[in-house]
């Protein structure tokens, strides 16, 4: 059993966030008191200010920032919205109450700070993330849960009402939803030596049934397509805090390859955030070369699939290694294969044959 190696306890994380929020609040207060118009400096998130940091192995924002001032009447409204969100985030963090993007949109209406639509409030949330350099999950704003986790991992809840309560995640075969309570829980201990992130719920269930967790000493995570940020945060914590390697299994197409890439090195949309990436994570399939190798049934690529191939070829992260190689093969064969394609050779073919081979191969990646 691995002992927890918690660098940054969740409690401290909240404390730190509250400190930052308070600091911002105090600055605005001071400005008003001295007759100044308060302002926020927000890192610029436009494409021109997003660049790939090779050292960090993720997209980061450049040094450009834009000023949002209460003096400027065209910014006054969004300034107020941003300050309100900071105020609201502070409240959520204090009370450890989780909320969703949609909750935020509706909550604003109680304070005469109206958002025209959820799109506007979602934008302000990203603004606050950028100002604080913290993902929204840190201030208790969560996406709808659709990803889940299963395996021998014991956690200890920190959310109000469950504080100190422990839970082993291998007792329920449908897995556990990765929600606020999971993301904020302490990772106590585990017998697993590996984390397998899998794109699809169907395969996740198959893996549980086939006891992949036991056979391969692994924690299985269903990302539900593109991994939500809370799932990515959890993956990172599993890797960093418990020293578990992370491997990723996706459909054999260009989107699958990119799901793996986002877990590994983040997305341009979240360039303002750190701590969301698992740079050591490994994509082990389904590769383009696997299609031929395992004689998988294929589906022809659509127009948009092909376009996506060419788009990704311009991405700096796809310029080397298997990322480059596999993308080139996809572009060439213009075919794709789903995870379920292995069922042609029997339902357990994927866990019995493909998975062990790939895991062996991954070690050398």
Partner 1 sequence: MSSKEQFNQISPSEFFYRNRDLAGFSNPTRSLYTAVREFVENSLDACDHSGVFPNIEMTIKAVNPDKPDPKQYILTVKDNGPGIPPKHVPLAFGTVLYGSKFGLKQARGMFGLGATMAILYGQITTNKPVKVKSNSDGKIRNDFEMLLDIQKNKPVILKKDEKSSTERGLSVSICLDGDYSKAGTKIRDYVYQTSLITPYATITFNDPKGEKFHHKAIIRSMPPAPTIIAPHPYGIDVETIRRMLVDTHYQIPNVDDKMIEKVRKELGMSKKKFTYSDIMKKTEKKWKSLTRPVRVVLALMSFLEADFEKLQRVRIEDVDLRNNKLVYWDYSTSQTLVADMDVESHYYKQLANTVQGESLTHFLTKRFQRVGPTAAVEFCKFAKFKPETRVGNMTDQELVKLSDALQTYEGFRSPDPTCLAPLGATPLEKGIERRFEPDFSAVVQRTASAYSGFPFVIEMGIAYGGNIQSRGTTVYRFANRIPLLYDEGSDVVLKVVKETDWNRYKVKSDSAPLIIVSHICSTRVPYKTVGKENVADRPEIEKELRLALQFLSRKLSGYMSKKGKAEMAKKRANLYSKYLPLIAQFCTELSGNKKEPKYDKMIREETNMGEEAKIEEKTE
Kindly state the smallest distance separating residue 84's Cβ from partner 1, in Å.
Answer: 5
Kindly state the smallest distance separating residue 13's Cβ from partner 1, in Å.
Answer: 19
Which is closer to partner 1, CB of 60 or CB of 86?
86
State phi, psi for 250 to the nearest 5 degrees. -130, 175
> What secondary structure letter does DSSP report for 350?
I
Could you say which of 59, 105, 106, 318 is catalytic? 106
Task: Measure the N-to-C terminal CA separation of the chain; round to a whole number of Å.
Answer: 26
Kindly give the pairing relationship between strand 194-198 and strand 218-222.
Answer: parallel
Neighbours of 293 (CB within 10 A): 12
- 106 noted as active-site residue: yes
| Residue 61: closest CA among 82, 47, 75, 77 | 47
Coil, helix or strand at residue 182:
helix
| Residue 152: closest CA among 217, 216, 197, 201 | 217
Kindly state the smallest distance separating residue 158's Cβ from partner 1, in Å.
Answer: 23
What is the spatial distance between Cα 307 and Cα 292, in angstroms, rounded to a whole number? 22
Q: Using the CB atoms, write b or e for 44-70: b if 16+ within 10 Å.
A: bbeeebbebbeeeebbbbeeeeeebbb
Kindly state the smallest distance separating residue 79's Cβ from partner 1, in Å.
Answer: 7
Verify cis geometry, omega within 30 degrees of 0, for the bond prior to 333: no
Coil, helix or strand at residue 101:
helix
Q: Calculate the alpha carbon distances from 65 to 74, 117, 243 in Å.
A: 18, 25, 36
Which is closer to partner 1, CB of 29 or CB of 310?
29
Angle at 92 between CA 87 and CA 96, to 5 degrees: 155
Kindly state the smallest distance separating residue 126's Cβ from partner 1, in Å.
Answer: 19
Kindly state the smallest distance separating residue 132's Cβ from partner 1, in Å.
Answer: 13
Which is closer to partner 1, CB of 18 or CB of 268?
18
Beta strands in the chain (DSSP E): 2-3, 39-43, 50-53, 58-61, 65-69, 99-100, 141-142, 148-150, 153-156, 166-168, 176-177, 186-190, 194-198, 218-222, 246-249, 282-285, 299-300, 335-336
Which is closer to partner 1, CB of 70 or CB of 125?
70
Q: 305 near 253, Cβ under 8 Å?
A: yes
Kindly state the smallest distance separating residue 268's Cβ from partner 1, in Å.
Answer: 30
Binding site for partner 1 (CB under 8 A): 21-22, 24-26, 28-30, 32-33, 35, 37-38, 70, 73, 76-77, 79-80, 83-84, 86-87, 90, 111-113
Q: 286 near 335, Cβ under 8 Å?
A: no
Which is closer to partner 1, CB of 114 or CB of 360?
114
Which is closer to partner 1, CB of 84 or CB of 342?
84
What residues act catalytically?
106
């Amino acid at each position: 059993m691995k002992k927890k190696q918690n660098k940054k306890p969740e409690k401290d994380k909240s404390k730190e966030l509250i400190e930052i929020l308070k600091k911002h609040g105090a600055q605005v207060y001071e400005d008003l008191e001295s007759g100044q118009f308060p302002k926020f400096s927000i890192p610029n998130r436009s494409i021109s200010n997003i660049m790939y940091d090779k050292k960090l192995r993720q997209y980061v924002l450049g040094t450009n920032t834009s000023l949002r001032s209460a003096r400027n009447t065209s910014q006054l409204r969004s300034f107020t919205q941003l300050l309100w969100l900071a105020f609201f985030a502070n409240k959520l963090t204090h009370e450890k109450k989780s909320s969703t993007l949609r909750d935020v949109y509706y909550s604003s209406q109680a304070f005469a700070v109206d958002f025209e639509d959820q799109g506007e409030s979602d934008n302000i949330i990203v603004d606050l993330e950028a100002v604080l350099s913290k993902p929204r999950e840190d201030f208790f704003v969560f996406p709808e849960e659709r990803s889940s986790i299963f395996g021998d991992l014991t956690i200890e809840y920190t959310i109000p009402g469950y504080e100190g309560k422990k839970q082993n995640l291998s007792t329920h075969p449908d897995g556990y939803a990765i929600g606020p309570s999971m993301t904020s829980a302490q990772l106590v201990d585990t017998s697993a030596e590996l984390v397998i992130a899998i794109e699809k719920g169907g395969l996740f269930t198959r893996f549980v049934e086939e006891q992949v967790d036991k056979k391969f000493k692994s924690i299985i995570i269903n990302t539900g397509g593109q991994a939500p940020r809370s799932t990515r945060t959890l993956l990172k914590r599993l890797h960093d805090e418990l020293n578990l390697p992370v491997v990723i299994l996706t459909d054999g197409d260009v989107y699958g390859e990119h799901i793996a890439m986002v877990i590994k090195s983040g997305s341009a949309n979240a360039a303002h955030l750190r701590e969301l990436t698992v740079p050591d994570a490994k994509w082990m399939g389904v590769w383009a070369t696997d299609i031929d190798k395992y004689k998988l049934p294929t589906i022809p690529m659509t127009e948009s699939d092909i376009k996506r191939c060419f788009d990704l070829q311009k991405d700096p992260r796809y310029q080397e290694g298997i990322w480059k190689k596999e993308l080139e093969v996809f572009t060439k064969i213009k075919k794709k294969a789903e995870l379920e394609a292995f069922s042609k050779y029997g339902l357990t073919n994927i866990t019995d044959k493909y998975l062990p081979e790939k895991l062996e191969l991954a070690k050398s990646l």
